A and B are shown apart, each in its own frame.
Chain A
């Protein structure tokens, strides 16, 4: 059974870059799309984007200028990079498998990691 685990700093300073990794275990990263979704404290879910294991990506238009998702097949990991962060980027960040492009199915999800943007 595929499991995902996020890792990375829990605190990032304003204007700096948020970097998170997601390790996939119990299955290969090959053959699927992989996604990041975030949830500000006490608020709803926001889709950040996805990347196909072999390249090709799609990002939320509202974040597109600041976001990069990349895949490292040798480590069975994928990563999120969000530049020029502000307090509005404070959220729990979830990594997840995105099995079918152009669908809304995201499964399974990681446990999530809280990233706080503060000086």
Chain B
């Protein structure tokens, strides 16, 4: 069955460092991979989308890589700030197409001042 794995343990990082979050998947051949941010009590907020034929995408301090051979995406936040503390969700479209997006459980990031 299709499975998305994100490290469910919290990631603690010092302010100013680069945070790297991992999303692994099995039994998927996604056309798109997405990353979202979720703050407590709020809905997820879309950050970045990367297509299967793209290796890397950047947006300000954010960088996403997509390795379809390893079936893995890495999400980087450079020069991390306490305001970056949140849960980050990885999402894939599965065999059902882009309308059926499946989410990982998320990784909680804590940036320590």
Q: Do A and B bind each other?
A: no
